[in-house]
Structure 1
């Protein structure tokens, strides 16, 4: 077995996305249809892995803008990592990751920042890359904490969340109409500016573009009071996980506990879809060094538990 590492080119976009569709651990964040929305924001360094002429894996990657000697998988997504169909197991994965490291070393990079796919997203166990990273001497430089519900074995919902759901259900109606994304985005932007002095990673035009590309995967769930959007979430979903990418509520929405109704509706839909997990996303600040414990406990009260989002660094110097 000899793994060949080939730089990605646009001519391989369909082949790349076919591999993601057939993979055991790929999500929409790995697809070229998703990554291409970034345009020229990142200098791409993605690679395709072949064995005996057959594509066996892909690795989305780009050059770190503030550190051009470092390559990241992937700076434009929550996670990156090697995506494969299950064939890269054990020693094969060790060889594959070593070949990737050698490829980037020859390109002049000094380090590879590797963000593995959290285990809940894989349709079957696929953490061979973590073992391969350890064999190569990689170090874990950051760990964020997400909260996820196992939809097959959900923990008990707290009394506070049950009271919130009862209050919200009397006040609001729930909608998953994607046409309400601009109205939700206004709530989101106001929420981020008011509470954190921040802006959303995606503009409303970008999220509408992505939702049009992935209409069954990027979904909105929101609460309306008197026809007005007061709270909601935008989810980036996969076969195994429904993930809350954006969460927001107006002041009125907080007063009425509307997020309780929104989340319960989304969790119910996720379970009916056949997904295994509902992921609320991480609750970290300051590059992972601070946990917003109040936010984490709020998510935990829906019946969830902790899932680590890990960050590794592999030095590439001789």
Structure 2
């Protein structure tokens, strides 16, 4: 059996880590250290590098909380990241090496959150089977809504009827270079009013992330008479477009400006050859419930359900 060496990430591994992420089979820019560390004050990093001899074969973006390790709570998705040439049976050996390392470091529980399967058409489910074999349980599921852009679009007739009407309202779509208009005038006020909540990212954090990942993070706004009335923040990866934030003012609600923007972006990225448009989850604060209105809205835009699984493994 191949022997692997597991070590915790150290800042001296910055270049090695990022070079590996750049060529890995199943990585996105969220796993670049610059993205992972914008909120490093909120999480105790416990990321791992797994070597075969001197050669890096896999990494695990992760954080530690008490005696548990999570793949990674500060990221939308996580999981074991490995090189494109790694065979399935070696993933099993790598998992065993990680579990031994956890045991040696008094880790009692491992929470695993893989990337949704549609992000990687060549597959990304090797570790799920091996986790199950070692006693992992499916702790919870979330409904993740996404559009398969490779298929004919299935936007509802009612959405398209309103879309054709909206096209006559003299609305402008603008790709912004700054986040302040959307954050200050739309996103923060609406989240506070509707949910008594704040966005996960501050506008300063988003500006910093866009500066570091200018091709991956985009802000689109809908304006009417030069006034912003809605917006969508996009995370763009090789295959997938993800709407990270979407919000509208009351004026924008009346004009159905978010639907107008979504439909335009769906067509835009279908033409560009993206494979999926990820519109995120519809679960409510109660993990066993879901937001029916949000589910309906996303399905009417052409989304299907792709489950997001969460695993829990007790370390023995």
- Shorter-chain TM band: over 0.9
Give the TM-score of the pair, scaled to structure 2: 0.95
* Aligned-pair CA distance for 1:159: 1.2
| Corresponding residue of 1:170 | 168
| Equivalent pair of 1:167/1:256 in contact (CA under 8 Å) | no
Aligned length in residues: 313
Matched, 1:226 2:219: no
1:112 lines up with 2:72 in the alignment:
no
- Residue 71 of structure 1 corresponds to 69
Residue 143 of structure 1 aligns with which residue?
141
Does structure 2 conserve the Cα–Cα contact (< 8 Å) formed by 1:165 and 1:258? no
Q: Secondary structure at the match of 2:152?
A: coil
The answer to whether structure 1 residue 271 and structure 2 residue 270 are counterparts is: yes
Distance 1:164 1:2 in 2: 60
Offset from partner CA, 1:102-131 (integer Å, 9 cap, x none): 111211110011101111111411210111
- Match in the other structure for 1:8: 9
Would you say 1:103 and 2:110 are equivalent positions? no
Tell me the distance in 2 between the aligned counterparts of 1:310 and 1:214: 28
Can you give the 5+ residue segments of structure 2 that lack an aligned partner in the other structure?
A: none
CA deviation after TM superposition for structure 1 residue 203, in Å: 0.7
> Are residues 1:27 and 2:28 paired?
yes
List aligned pairs for 1:45-60, cutoff 5 A.
45-60=46-61
Measure how far apart 1:142 and its partner are.
Answer: 1.1
**Secondary structure at 2:168 match in 1:** helix
Pairing 1:156-235 to 2, within 5 Å after superposition: 156-171=154-169, 172-179=171-178, 181-186=179-184, 187-235=186-234
1:241 aligned residue: 240
Unaligned segments of structure 1, at least 5 residues: none
Residue 85 of structure 1: CA displacement? 2.1
Runs (4+) off by over 3 Å: none
- 1:46–1:62 CA contact under 8 A, matched in 2: yes
SS in 2 for 1:94: helix
Determine if contact 1:157/1:303 at 8 Å carries over to the other structure.
yes
How far 1:155 sits from its partner (Å)? 4.0
Q: Distance in 2 between matches of 1:163 and 1:190?
A: 29
Deviation at 1:291, TM superposition (A): 0.8
Task: Answer yes or no: is the 8 Å Cα contact 1:24–1:123 preserved in 2.
Answer: no
1:122 matched to 2:123? The reply is: no
Contact kept in structure 2, 1:27 and 1:238, CA below 8 Å = yes
Deviation for aligned residue 1:281: 0.5
Cα deviation, residue 287, structure 1: 4.9
**For the residues of structure 2 that align with 1:262 and 1:39, how far apart are their CA atoms?**
33
1:51-84 Cα deviation digits (max 9, x unpaired):
13111111011112xxx11111101011110011
> What is the distance in 1 between the residues matched to 2:57 and 2:93?
12
Distance in 2 of aligned mates of 1:255 and 1:158:
19
Cα contact 1:148–1:305 (8 A) shared by 2: yes
